[in-house]
A and B are shown apart, each in its own frame.
Chain A
Amino acid sequence: PPPAAVREYLRLVREAKVRHSEDVAEYGALLLKKSPGILPAEELWLVHEQVGVAALDCGGFELADWCIGRLDKQFPNSVRVRKLKGMRLEAGGEFDAADKLYKGILEENQADQAAWKRRVAVCRGRGNLVKATKVLKEYLDIFASDHEAWEEAADLYLCLGMHKQAAFCQEELILSNPQNPHFHLQYADTLCTLGQPANLRTALAYYAAALELTDGLSVRALLGACGAYAHLNALKGPEKATEEEARVPQLAAKLLKQLYGKKCPAKLPLLLELLTKQGLHDSS
């Protein structure tokens, strides 16, 4: 593909922060080796870093070493390049050496956020998720407004099955990003996983919030609302779902039927069977 197209692709990947490592490594390498001239100075070195990291992600050590070597020559004594060398060690499984390198950076500057995050990554890479949460907690005590870190913490706790702790992190994310439906949705899903009528009721409220923020288009929120309601409706006595609580799920069921009818009509019969079981569709 033409170098200009590759340059634009790499820029879009950086902006969207997606993980297309194989493509970035393959095409980025071509660009750097065959047509580096089309990149202005600052972008040239940014692309070296991007391709280097991508290469590490798919085991392309030769390419990674080439990128890191050239960055090292251009920016001797750079902390950012040191961090890359740490990632190279991580990719090779040399976690002790990598951790030592990051601790060294932190000794010089305790506020180096990237080094903190790499330390968490080392723990995760080793499979020691519990230690990862501990290091991340230390980081969050200093940098409490870093929502990327709160997201990582939530993810770690979910992997560990520590849903209460994950919920706490998700609450922080909702507080700091109230317009982001994804956080409302994940929180609702976590509450449903915890179970118990009180959590299910709160979950319904957050599914409703997610639906408001997505104009009713989030399939996960629509299905979630129906599912939470079905559980509440199956209870007996005072905890059973009220008519008022049925309003959002009933609307959700209606919207789901419309969406399925439009986008995957072949699956509509299955959806209708499911909604009937949940008490949200009248099959007569």
Chain B
Amino acid sequence: ERKREREKETMGEVQISTLAYVKALLHAYKRSTASVTGVVVGKLGKDGCRMEVEDIFPLTHGSFLYPEVEMALSIIRLLCAKKQQVVLGFYHGNEARSDKSIPALLGTLGAQLEEKCGSSLLLVMNNAQLAAGQMAFDGYFIEKGKDGPVEKSVTVRFASGDTSQVLANCIKGGAADVLVDYSDHLDDLTLDWTNASFQLHAS
């Protein structure tokens, strides 16, 4: 634990927008009996803020395999290019409530992303923190190490003070029902996995 705290001091921090946070957690809420995985996009930051997560794309629920992720990532890169955003990494919530570990395949994907783009972020759901009303994600930067992916802890902060309240409003308003992930789209092409018409419920 102390090693992680020391790591965090040197790593800078990551900010997450309300839109990105709410969409990711709605994905987890909608698929509460399975694990969830998605891609986080945004901008590389400056000064102490290493990355600004602006949006997410929900990918799958349940165990995922490489072909699904690879295809979606290719398309997401094309979409990001149009908005001057970059793929920053992934978010993931494990199936079991107390599990905040990083699945092996995700670590590998993260390391591949880092090799390609120079930096890679993993946001892993921590349900104890969520239940306490705090930031629901543990943040890690992933690097390719000699013997496999190496993860370093990084602090994740809300970009805005009312994020938790907006999330609560969205859940009450049934926003999770309309959220679509890439896996849903593959089963029914008419569903929009980019969730282009998604709206936050502010009040």
- A57 vs B78: C-alpha distance in the bound complex, in angstroms? 40
A192 at the interface (CB under 8 A from B): yes
Given the contacts A155-B63, A159-B35, A223 and B186 also touching, CB distance less than 8 Å: yes
Chain A nearest Cβ from B188, distance in angstroms:
8
Partner of A219, one of B63, B96, B105, B189: B189
Q: What is the size category of the interface that chain A forms with chain B?
A: 20 to 34
- A109-143 interface (Cβ within 8 A of B): 124-127
Known: A161-B104, A274-B71. 10 other contacts (CB 8 A): A126-B96, A186-B65, A188-B67, A190-B65, A193-B105, A219-B186, A223-B186, A224-B67, A264-B192, A273-B78
Main SS at interface, chain A: helix
- A160 vs B113: C-alpha distance in the bound complex, in angstroms? 21
A-B contact count (CB 8 A): 66
Sample (22) of A-B pairs whose CB atoms are under 8 Å apart: A19-B33, A57-B33, A125-B96, A126-B96, A127-B99, A155-B63, A159-B35, A159-B103, A189-B66, A192-B65, A192-B66, A192-B67, A193-B65, A193-B66, A220-B68, A220-B186, A223-B186, A224-B67, A264-B192, A270-B75, A270-B78, A271-B75
**Contact at A259–B189, with CB atoms within 8 Å?**
yes
Partner of B105, one of A161, A220, A273: A161
Residues of A within 8 A of B96 (CB): 124-127
A158 at the interface (CB under 8 A from B): yes
- A264 vs B67: C-alpha distance in the bound complex, in angstroms? 21
Chain A proximity mask over B69-92: 1 for CB below 8 Å, otherwise 0:
011001100110000000000000
A277 at the interface (CB under 8 A from B): yes
B95 at the interface (CB under 8 A from A): yes
Residues of A within 8 A of B33 (CB): 19, 57
Given the contacts A127-B98, A220-B186, A274-B74, A193 and B103 also touching, CB distance less than 8 Å: no
Residues of B within 8 A of A259 (CB): 189
B190 at the interface (CB under 8 A from A): yes
Which chain B residue shows the least CB distance to A19? B33
Chain A interface residues toward B at CB < 8 A = 19, 57, 124-127, 155, 158-161, 186, 188-190, 192-193, 195, 219-220, 223-224, 227-228, 259-260, 263-264, 270-271, 273-274, 277
Given the contacts A127-B98, A159-B103, A277-B74, A189 and B67 also touching, CB distance less than 8 Å: yes
Output the residue of B67, B68, B70, B71 with the most chain A CB within 10 A.
B67
Chain A nearest Cβ from B32, distance in angstroms:
9
Chain A nearest Cβ from B95, distance in angstroms:
7
Chain A nearest Cβ from B18, distance in angstroms:
26
- A261 vs B76: C-alpha distance in the bound complex, in angstroms? 19
Residues of A within 8 A of B75 (CB): 270-271, 274
Chain B nearest Cβ from A184, distance in angstroms:
13
Residues of B within 8 A of A19 (CB): 33
Partner of B190, one of A125, A161, A190, A263: A263
Residues of B within 8 A of A220 (CB): 67-68, 186
Chain B nearest Cβ from A55, distance in angstroms:
15
Residues of B within 8 A of A192 (CB): 65-67
Residues of A within 8 A of B71 (CB): 223, 227, 274
Which chain A residue shows the least CB distance to B79? A270
Chain B nearest Cβ from A91, distance in angstroms:
12
Chain A nearest Cβ from B102, distance in angstroms:
10
Residues of A within 8 A of B62 (CB): 155
